Structure 1
Amino acid sequence: MKTVKSAKQLTVTYFSIIAFAIITLHFSLLDATLEDFEQINANNRLQHAKAVAEEVLQEQSNITQFAIPPFTHAYLDPKLLPPQVRFPENTPWDKAFEIRSQGADDTEYFAMKTRITDNKTDKTLYLLFSDYIYEISEEQVFLNQLKQLGISILLLVVSFVVVLKASARLTNPLTQLANDIDSRNAGDLSPIAPPSGINSREVLQLVDSFNLYVTQINELLNRERSFNRYASHELRTPLMVMKGATSLLGQSNDPAFIAKQQKRLEQATSEMNDFVTTLLSLTREEDMDNISSRQLDRKELEEIARVHTSLLSGKLVDWYVEAPQPIEIKMPENAFKILLGNLIKNAFAFTEQGHVIIRMTPSAIMVEDTGTGLKSNETGHKGYGLGLLIAADICRKYHWHLHHETNQYQGCTATISLQPNEKPNGQTE
């Protein structure tokens, strides 16, 4: 595994690089400044010496070398130059350059080769400039800059200590957060508390993002558990139908009887497919904006209710549908069939006499019964209670709202509130 540096190590590394760059830049600027200043000083000195040399030669044309106070010497013959000084053959004209004598004194010179006119005759003049006082001053300036550099290094060290402590205070919450996460059990999906101490906005944002992620994982696990629970509940009936139809097929050779059992098998298979498709949709995220609207009418409500009329066998219960006009809804037919079917099954199962009304309005769908009411439902058949949980999950999935209320005299009413943008067919805003 690749070794990853800690925040403290990275701070030391980056700060060292920056400090080294600052010191290097300081030295480079100092050296460049001294060199440039020395070059400018020498060039101005030699240009001044050239003008003085022209005046001297106008008065004394027979001399071949002479001194120009305070630090310059002029030569008309290169052979008269000091033996330790040599002008390169490609020396440029009228440009000062630095040379170092090759003798024991190791003296630094600035030299320039130029042309002057003496009695209308062009002559080559060699100028040598050596200012040992300037060299001493240059060394003093350098030493003074070293002192300033020492102060700068001291300030860098102090800054480094401050940055290191600040880095530790900023990273300690992250370290504590990492340790808290490492120490959690694999099944612990509870929100994590912000670490103690000074927390930055980024740390709090990280904690919030982590908790949101944990919540999403928890919801996903709950959906998977719900799928297993719901599947066992919803598939029990069609499986029993299939088992019964299969066993009956071997008891008769009557074509009409066989066709009836085959139809029961087809209906049970189709019902199982609808259940599985809907339950799987509850376990995954979908973009609700991509679901197209469809029309819901009285006929569809009656067909869903008619499937469960076997629950009313032997009871004095009437059921009917009130749906003055179709409405537009954003829910697949299979999902709506399971949603409303569970509400109707619940109403049929807990109503011994009276009526069950399936009512549809522009903003809601209601199932009203004269049964035993909510309290009895809560302590009664657990299977039907699970059906209500499935209905609630489907409503939550498609941004509908399901609620129950006890009727004034008897029974209860389950109400599905539609989305605000779902309107009856033909209705305009």
Structure 2
Amino acid sequence: MSKVKSAKQITFTYFAIVAFAIIATHFSLMESTLEDLEYLNAQNRLNYSKEVAQELLSDSHNTSVAIPPFSFAYVGKEALPANITIPDNFQFNTAVELKQEETQDTEYFIMKSQLIIRDQVQTVYILYFDEIYEFSEEQIFWSQAKQLIISITLLLVSFAVVLRISQRLTSPLSTLAEELEARSPHDLTPIPVPKGVETKELLQLVHSFNQYQARLHTSVERERSFNRYASHELRTPLMVIKGAVSLLGQSNEPVFIEKQRQRLLSASNEMNDFVTTLLSLTRDEDLSNLVLRSLDKEEVENILQSHSHLINHKPINCEVILKEETKIKVPETTIKILIGNLVKNAFACTEEGTVTITVSPYTIEVADTGIGLDTKPRGIEGYGLGLVIANDICRKYGWQLDLVNNTTGGCTATITLQPNETPNGQPIDS
């Protein structure tokens, strides 16, 4: 992390590169413009001087002539001053700059032309030097230099502004990082938007992180729900297995051993069904392929019978009423846990009387004559969790569970079915 640059450092680096490029480009353009202006001025002056030289030398025997204000014309190379060195490959009618050897400043502009003098074609060299223009060029340079200084100043001001903007934009991110670092690993609550400039990207980041937190929280709650449900539902089959194992050592009778084996097999199958159903409550599933099946009276009676040991010492009469054929899109193991939990709670709340299960195409009712909803039964471990599991199953399959007190005592748990609709299969978030 120490080698990774901050946003401010990156901004400084790239801005410095861009600023240097702008200054270098500006300076190069300024220098190039001045040179182009000087050359164009010299070329135009020399062309003008060429026309004047043609008039002055046409009938003259002079080998040199002054062309006011800043030009001279020489007929033939021999007529040139001794300090003038003609460059190689010197083309006609093209201005060439001659520099001083000591300072490399411009000494002359020279152009070679051919003029008709006394009816003969003669080579004429025209020299031009404008000291005033050279002085003006220097003034223009310093004027441009001032503009360059102003540009640099503006760039520095812009740099300060950009750094400030960069700091304001990155400050919320730094605050967000510090807040996340200081958070407890178990804190999955949504994070607030940091103070500062609220940009679209920052809001999107916070929103996405909170969504991730919510999914993580949901996953944790699913695991907790499964652990809670499993501890509740697996208690009975584990007790059966423990009892059967302890009894196996008491007799070698084949009939007795077979009976305990069947108890172990039944308890293990029940545990497998419970785990399968409980896992389905805590994960996403595609339930669109569920097959519509009949819920018959025998299936409900078997569920009731599997929990009859809870009322061995209670004078309770159990009854199953099937009003007409009922179709559901729920697996047999799931309906077993759903109705079984309602039956167990009815048995726990009833000391004597009746427990009636009524099945119709649109509802499943479990009614008892016990203590009702306003009183909690004593000595019943895990009471209430069975109703939570039943309610979660109903929610997963698009059903609704309602509990109401009966006018004559006890309560009725009503499951409202939706036989013509496909369950959504969403996991239950506790």
The TM-score normalised by the length of structure 2 is: 0.79
Summarize the alignment of residues 239-258 of structure 1 with structure 2, pairs less than 5 Å apart.
Answer: 239-258=238-257
Counterparts of 2:275 and 2:338 in 1: how far apart (Å)?
13
8 Å Cα contact 2:75-2:123 kept in structure 1: yes
Distance, in Å, in 1 between the alignment partners of 2:413 and 2:87 is 108
CA distance in 1, matches of 2:416, 2:98: 97
- Structure 2 distance, partners of 1:337, 1:113, is 113
The residue matched to 2:187 in structure 1 has which SS? coil
Quick one: structure 1 residues 178 and 23, their matched pair in 2 at CA, closer, same or farther if it must change by over 3 Å?
Answer: same
Are 1:76 and 1:124, in contact at CA under 8 Å, matched by a contact in 2? yes
Answering whether residue 375 of structure 2 is matched by residue 376 of structure 1, we say yes
Supply the distance in 2 between the matched residues of 1:405 and 1:162 (Cα, whole angstroms). 69
Q: Distance in 2 between matches of 1:117 and 1:398?
A: 111
Match of 1:266 in 2: 265
> What residue number does 1:346 align with?
345
Q: Is 1:41 equivalent to 2:41 in the alignment?
A: yes
Are 2:237 and 1:238 aligned? Answer: yes
* 1:161-172 alignment runs, 5 A limit: 161-172=160-171
Q: Secondary structure at 2:359's aligned position in 1?
A: strand
1:42 positional shift: 3.0
Structure 1 residues 94-103 or 21-30, which shifts more?
A: 94-103
- Deviation, structure 1 residue 241: 2.0
Question: How far apart are the structure 2 equivalents of 1:164 and 1:226?
Answer: 51
Counterparts of 2:254 and 2:248, CA distance in 1? 10
CA change 1:76–1:227 in 2 (3 A) is farther
Separation in 2 of the partners of 1:196 and 1:153?
34
Q: Which runs of 5+ in 2 are unaligned?
A: 424-430
Aligned residue for 1:188, secondary structure, equals coil
Of 232-241 and 173-182, deviating more is 173-182
Aligned in 2, Cα 1:250/1:420: closer, same or farther, shift over 3 Å?
closer
CA contact (8 A) 1:297 1:323 kept: no
- Structure 2 CA distance for aligned equivalents of residues 366 and 95 of structure 1: 111
User: Structure 1 residue 130: deviation in Å?
Assistant: 2.8
Matches within 5 A, 1:155-166: 155-166=154-165
Give the Cα separation in 2 of the matches to 1:64 and 1:421. Answer: 119
Q: Return the alpha-carbon distance in structure 1 between the equivalents of residues 144 and 170 of structure 2.
A: 38
Q: Does the CA-based 8 Å contact 2:402-2:414 persist in structure 1?
A: yes
The superposition leaves residues 389-412 of structure 1 with CA deviations (integer Å, 9 ceiling, x where unpaired) of 333444455565544333444333
State the alpha-carbon separation in 1 of the partners of residues 175 and 275 from structure 2: 45
The 5 A counterparts of 1:211-360 are: 211-284=210-283, 286=284, 288-289=285-286, 291-299=288-296, 301=300, 303-313=302-312, 314-322=314-322, 324-327=324-327, 329=329, 334-351=333-350, 352-360=352-360
Equivalent AA in structure 2 for residue 338 of structure 1: I
Residues 363-412 of structure 1 deviation map (CA, whole Å, 9 limit, x = unaligned) = x6554444332233587624232222333444455565544333444333
CA deviation vs aligned residue, 1:167-202 (integer Å, no higher than 9, x gap)? 444444333333333333343344444445564454
Question: In the alignment, is the contact (CA less than 8 A) between 1:355 and 1:370 conserved in 2?
Answer: yes
Distance change >3 Å, CA 39–CA 211, structure 1 → 2:
same
| Residue number in structure 2 paired with 1:173 | 172
Q: Which has the higher contact order (CA 8 A, sep 6+)?
A: 2
- What is the letter of the counterpart of residue 21 of structure 1? A
Equivalent residue number for residue 19 of structure 1: 19
Q: Is the 8 A contact 1:191 1:214 kept in 2?
A: yes
Q: Counterparts in 2 of 1:189-204, with a 5 A limit?
A: 189-196=188-195, 199-204=198-203
The size of the alignment, in residue pairs, is: 419
Asked if the contact 1:347/1:356 (under 8 Å) is kept, the reply is no
- What secondary structure sits across from 1:376 in the alignment? coil
**Residues in 1 aligned to 2:174 and 2:137: alpha-carbon distance in whole angstroms:** 52
**For 2:337 and 2:241, how far apart are their aligned partners in 1?**
19
Normalization by structure 1: what TM-score? 0.79
Q: Which one is further off, 292-301 or 107-116?
A: 107-116
Q: 1:99 offset after TM fit, Å?
A: 3.9
Q: Is the 8 A contact 1:84 1:101 kept in 2?
A: no
Paired amino acid for 2:135 = I
- 1:57 Cα offset (Å): 4.6
Q: In structure 2, what is the equivalent of residue 185 of structure 1?
A: 184
Q: Tell me the SS of whatever aligns to 1:383.
A: coil
Change in 2 beyond 3 A, CA 1:64/1:184: same
Q: 1:353 to 1:157 in 2, by over 3 A?
A: same
The residue identity in structure 2 corresponding to 1:278 is T
Match of 1:427 in 2: none
The residue type paired with residue 383 of structure 1 is G
Residues 396 and 205 (structure 1), Cα distance of their counterparts in 2 relative to 1, 3 Å cut: farther
Q: CA RMSD in A?
A: 3.8
**1:271-323 deviation per Cα after TM superposition (whole angstroms, max 9, x unaligned):** 22232333344444x2x457523224213555544433443545433332547
Read off the aligned partner of 1:46 and give its amino acid letter: L
Give the deviation of 1:111 after TM superposition: 3.9
Q: Is the 8 A contact 1:328 1:422 kept in 2?
A: no
Relative to structure 1, the CA distance from residue 265 to residue 10 in structure 2 (aligned partners, 3 Å threshold; closer, same or farther) is same
Q: How far is 1:419 from its partner?
A: 7.2
What letter corresponds to residue 347 of structure 1 in structure 2? A
Identity fraction in percent = 52
